[in-house]
Amino acid sequence: MEMSVIFYPSGYLQLQVADDGDDFCHVYDNPNNLAKDVSALLDGDNAIGWYGNDPDAWLDVEKTPAIRYISMQALPDYLIAFANGKVDMAGLWDNEIAFYRALARKRNL
């Protein structure tokens, strides 16, 4: 399962999930799961599942201009660095800053 948080210049945020349809359900089995916290911050409304059998539906975040993203693999270390003041916020969009602040609070960092 691959997940990314996508930031759009308009301020919109999205949790993109690519899985076989079953894995994302297990996110809610673990109360300390980072993906669950991300989805909760987005009220679950922006969490979208695009299945591995439909690669055309998957937004290729590395090749899509005008967006920013962070993979779920990179998010834990980045969030700790953000919470410890080691990220240059001058280069971030407002929606990124708000998201990372809220997630750091939610995870007590």
Per-residue DSSP letter, 93: -
What pLDDT shows up at residue 33?
74
What pLDDT shows up at residue 35?
74
- Provide the number of structural domains found in the chain: 1
The one-letter code for the residue type at 10 is S
- The whole domain housing 71 covers 2-106
Question: What pTM value is reported for the model?
Answer: 0.80
What pLDDT shows up at residue 51?
46
**Sheet hosting strand 47-51, strand order edge to edge:** 47-51, 13-19, 2-7, 68-71
**78 touches 87 (CB < 8 A):** yes
Mark the ranges of the chain whose per-residue pLDDT is less than 70: 1, 18-32, 43-58
What pLDDT shows up at residue 99?
93
- Residue among 96, 103, 85, 106 at smallest CA distance from 7: 96
